[in-house]
Amino acid sequence: MLTLAEIVAEQASLPPDDVEWLQDLVREGQLVADLSLADIALWVKTRDKSWVAVALFRASTASTVFYRDIVGKEIDASWETLVSECQRRGTMVEPTEPIWFEETATLVRAIPIRRRSGSDPIAVLTRHALVNDNLENRQAQKFVESAEQIYSMIADGDFPDPSQRDSPKLGAPRASDGLIKLDRDGTVTYASPNALSSFNRMGYPAPMEGMGLAEVARRVGNTEALAANEMLPMVVSGRVPGQTDFLAGPTTIAVRGIPLTQSGERIGAILLLRDVTELRRQERELSSKNATIREIHHRVKNNLQTVASLLRIQSRRTNSNEVKEAIAQAMRRVEAIAVVHDALATGLAQTVDFDEVAARVTPLAAEVANTGGPSVRPTIKGTFGDLPSEFATPLAIVLTELITNAVEHGLKDVTEGTVTVQADRAADHLQVSVSDNGPGVDASTIGQGLGTQIIRTLVENELSATIEWSRGESGGTVVTIDIPLRYIAAAKGVK
């Protein structure tokens, strides 16, 4: 599916600032839909003066109108006049009669989207609800009342708030998790059943309506946590937008504040609450385990470097060239593995930025392999991207071996050599080639050495890949590895 930015670039002509504003609104789209008890669609005018849907949100609090996605599609004829009139007048437009869509009677409203008050609408938001959906219970009424206030802010250019682009998304409260409405003084005018349950778990069983929420928070909150969290009093009083955690005993509640304005003046706020006690516990455990894993990788790297140093010392104590060469090969392999563990020791995830690994392994392998031979210039082209650690380690060793072979064998009769590492990353595979500008190697000798046997084993068994040796178009040897990513992309989340 195309993104909002891609649809706009393909079919419309909006400035980057307008696109960014719409992307901010899309981040709030699910909240608006849930409060509306209706589906929400965003429409942008196309270059041919029609309208295209750039986003659709189905309410989790009501039945949906749209059983098929409409994103990227042209507007239905039954809504086009309504949306065009809304954009032309710059005000909310709602027909007096239901509009039929796919044999279903729906209530539709169009709301202009502005970046600032008084400016022309940059797009139009439509609300689609089933006619038979009723608002008999108080929660539904308060949800829709909140949505109406947000519609007015959207039309005035006061919603969304660009300052909240980087607000936490993990554990972010939703309307159905718990909602509290405040007046401009921070007094509770409504608390949903789930919001009341959250405060009951924190030790406040009394009714909340008519109480100042900041005072309630002071009564039940952990004293030390309240003192350390300077943002909490401002959020729970409805004065500033933002999300923060509220700790009371063993319970942790994520609180998100959305100030409500009218003509630029604050008139109250919506607070969303979600019990994230278990989620935060899991995050702490994960953080602790990540720290332990990083420490293990760091120690492994240090131990590998110690092994490499011992091999280097041993190499200096022998007079046998054959032994020196064997030790040098072992050193290169150990150092390549150490580079991968060093990369893992500095990251939170068990994936490795292999571009960083290649940038360290390539010159290292070329330098160590070049013992009094020709001048060698290693270069890297293309992008490897992120790889899981279990793929990064064998690939680093393979890369080291191929560069070593290129320097020692491919460039042995060259005065000035070049070794090029080319990486081509696609959605389903990674192709890596190592080439040199030497005279080329005899095909009959390929696969005879220990290094080549190690390469084949790692490529076929560890990477589930294929490897091929060939002559370059302008001479030299080219080794190409094709690694399928379909086995790891879904499970490992590689980029």
Take residue 448 and report the two structure tokens written for it: 């005879």
Domains and CATH numbers, the chain: 4-162 (3.30.450.280), 167-275 (3.30.450.20), 339-492 (3.30.565.10)
| CA R_g for the chain | 31
**Tens digit of pLDDT at every position of the chain (495 positions):** 789 999 999 999 999 999 999 999 999 999 999 999 999 999 999 999 999 999 999 999 999 999 999 999 999 999 999 999 999 999 999 999 999 998 899 999 999 999 987 789 999 999 999 987 667 789 999 999 999 999 999 999 999 998 888 776 678 999 999 999 999 999 999 999 999 999 999 988 888 999 999 888 888 887 677 777 888 899 999 999 999 999 888 899 999 999 999 988 999 999 999 999 999 899 888 888 877 777 887 888 788 889 988 888 888 888 888 888 788 878 877 877 787 777 667 655 567 888 988 888 888 777 766 666 667 888 999 999 988 877 888 888 888 889 888 888 878 777 778 899 999 998 888 999 999 888 877 666 666 667 788 888 889 888 889 999 888 887 788 999 999 886 555 445 444
Take residue 379 and report the two structure tokens written for it: 């270069």
Are 159 and 125 in contact by the 8 Å Cβ rule? The answer is: no
Give the CA distances from residue 384 to residues 109, 263, 296, in Å, rounded to whole numbers and listed in that order: 49, 52, 25
pLDDT in the model for residue 491: 40
pLDDT in the model for residue 494: 47
Are 232 and 255 in contact by the 8 Å Cβ rule? The answer is: yes
Are 106 and 129 in contact by the 8 Å Cβ rule? The answer is: yes
382: left (phi over 0), alpha (psi -120 to 50) or beta: left
Q: Is the pTM of this model over 0.75?
A: no
Are 179 and 192 in contact by the 8 Å Cβ rule? The answer is: yes
Are 19 and 113 in contact by the 8 Å Cβ rule? The answer is: no
- Helix axes of 16-27 and 29-36: crossing angle, nearest 10 degrees: 50
pLDDT in the model for residue 335: 78
**Contacts within 8 Å (CB) and 24+ apart, 366-373:** 366/403, 366/407, 366/419, 368/328, 368/331, 368/332, 368/335, 368/404, 369/328, 369/332, 369/403, 369/404, 369/407, 369/408, 370/407, 371/328, 373/407, 373/408, 373/411, 373/412
| E strand residue ranges, 311-428 | 351-353, 375-382, 386-388, 416-425
Q: What DSSP designation does 368 have? A: H
Q: What DSSP designation does 379 have? A: E
Residues ≥6 apart with Cβ < 8 Å to 301: 338, 341, 342, 345
